[in-house]
């Protein structure tokens, strides 16, 4: 992605709540389930139609809320250097992720 000048963030594998796509998957699953597709072909069609309906502004809001979710996470998961406020400021300013494995 660097050739496109796109900065890719590392997503912590044990923190799906930090990954905006997880929220979208939930919305998609709910919408498809509500339509009750009868077979695989119908399910595939429902998935495509519901994915197209997902609002672009919802995607933008999820990405925009990333900083807030990082900050809230820092309040409950201390970083490895025990200086959470400094690390949180660093994370929010640089757009990177400080993550500690569960204890």
Q: Where are the domains of the chain?
A: 17-64, 66-103
Residue-wise pLDDT for 1-35, tens only, equals: 556 676 666 655 566 667 778 888 888 999 999 99
Alpha helices in 10-65 (DSSP H): 20-35, 40-53, 56-64
**Whole-prediction pTM value?**
0.52
Q: Which residue has the tokens 């992605």?
A: 1
Give the closest residue to 35 by CA, choosing from 20, 21, 51.
51
Question: Helix (H, G, I), strand (E, B), or coil: what is residue 48?
Answer: helix
Listed in sequence order, the residues at least 6 apart from 91 whose beta carbon sits closer than 8 Å to its beta carbon are 70, 74, 97, 98
pLDDT value, residue 94: 47
In this prediction, residue 63 carries a pLDDT of 80
pLDDT in tens, 40-92: 999 999 999 998 988 788 888 888 887 787 777 777 655 555 444 455 444 44
């Amino acid at each position: 992605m660097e050739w496109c000048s796109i900065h890719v963030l590392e997503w912590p594998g044990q923190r799906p709540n930090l990954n905006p796509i997880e929220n979208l998957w939930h919305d998609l699953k709910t919408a498809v389930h509500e339509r009750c597709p009868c077979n695989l072909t119908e399910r595939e069609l429902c998935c495509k139609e519901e994915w197209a309906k997902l609002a672009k502004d919802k995607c933008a809001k999820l990405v925009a809320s990333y900083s807030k979710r990082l900050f809230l996470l820092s309040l409950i998961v201390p970083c490895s250097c025990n200086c959470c406020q400094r690390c949180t400021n660093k994370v929010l300013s640089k757009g990177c992720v400080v993550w500690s494995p569960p204890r």
